[in-house]
Chains A and B, each alone.
Chain A
């Protein structure tokens, strides 16, 4: 091919139509992404717009009432505190124990596989089923009644798989050189784990626990099913008291037809989201500050 021919040869491509297809495709993808993003933003703005004016110290300290303007979230907030405390006291030790067992001590056998399988399955069970479990087992069989204790344990079982799974990841991220080093110095398995591995995995554990608990705080269905109340005018005083939690209070207000209650519900939502935001921020802080790079 002579030089003259070479000039006629171009690599311009098919231009036009091809480019149109390419560009249209990307635009379609972006539109799809934007619909999702816009929906979330709309939700947040709407909730803030409706709820923020209703927020006040009164709101946080008053009892619920038939009158929307006077309704407050105090019992719900205390109820949440009580229930989450029970949930934490139960699920954190058990979850960490199970994670440590599976990662550090269990021999690859049928028992370990059975436990792993169960945890994987339980993570995918709808939360309302846990409510039925709590109702049958804690409320009735163990006769705890529809109490804070029963509610906390129900939620504890719900978040247990999450804590175990994230705990295992945290343990896996600890380099094996640490384990080997400790064992080489003559430490027992238990000493290695308790004094070296576990402290190293602690930030990861904490992050996972905080995220699991933030999920528990937002749960409504299992607690309604096991008998939490939706209209409560007292603050729990003991583990066996009946209770309500913030998401259920929000549900109650949302279900009322008077539009003024929609504002109250939105205010409750703002409080709930603020709590979740704070918890997630703490988790992210821990993760970035203390997480070791594998």
Chain B
């Protein structure tokens, strides 16, 4: 009996042992790789994304969102363009603003104003490139409505083109990124502008002239007209580039012509017209109007806890009592003189002046953030709080409409509007030695809206006379709208020491530190030089 028991037990032991060991081994090795394959529950991963039409729509929205942010039209586009041009200067306690205004950015290479635009425009390019890459790979096939896919691609082309346009006008050098995975080669201004034109041309083919055909929710997106306008603008910059000393001036004509063609096409679309009141281009009350060709939408609200307006007004506007703007971007005094050179046909102040600037006009009863200029000065408790400058920016601020200026100004920014195109038309005709009567008529269209007397074409039948007038007209019409820097570049001002000296003496003393051949380009953020293969710092920095 005992023998049997222990025999059984021995067997039992063996069985248990065998079972356990094999179970152990099975358990241990049946845990496959799958156990370790976790998906991020908070985000979609790239390899499984891009399977739905909607993914591409969201991607385009994200690309648009770049326009809203501080590196772009949220702040720095305005600040950099105005400070560098002869329109503005800075009294900011933060030294990097002054550095930008005085072309002395070398020791401030990491400042926001230098880094943010670079960051933002390459970010937008990266987003657009993702759309191209995944559309190519699988996206295009997903779309039942190929037209929609085309329109999405068209918008991506427009935005990428715009970023290159911005890059060319600021840093004038940088990598050409045409897909979302590889590092592209480094190109310079001429090539960047050409890349921009090429992108805008693709966009022009794919974008609708008017989004209303696709529903009222689409209004405000970029159009074929905007693409044409940007081709015209870019072509003019390239023409200006070839006219610079040392470049092949003969190449300019083709680009002036290209610009002309595109602007003619814009007019032929017959959907744009000047708004009757100049002011309506710069307020929240008549946005996406008939004059607007390319516009960035801002909202004066908190969305998802985030401010979704532009900060422009807070940095550039009327600096009063802590409720207005900071002291970062002031208007130069000569702007006021330029406006005051001429009165309207019926002898009144140019109506564009009070829209553009706030100055200490005798008897002015307009309240800016609740007080007149005089009242503000009376209320100031210290010298530092007083309004001591000749003039300040009013355009695109809420000074006349709200109690204070904050970081979510809701006024849409009109990047391109028809008045600009008219004045560009005049300039292109002049450059092409076309019919200057026609050119003057374009100028008059813009002048008439503001009640200015018609110019007599007879007085402007030479290249020199007309370009001089165009320079004045662009200033009073477009001052503060960030076209000035591109204008000075295109007109060759930035490459002519005499003109620079004159600017420094008469308009913007910041130009006394302008270095020909250096200052027309921004410093590239220094850290980028070591991080991006093949990228070198711009000459002179």
Are A and B physically bound partners?
no
B contact set with A: CB distance below 8 Å: none
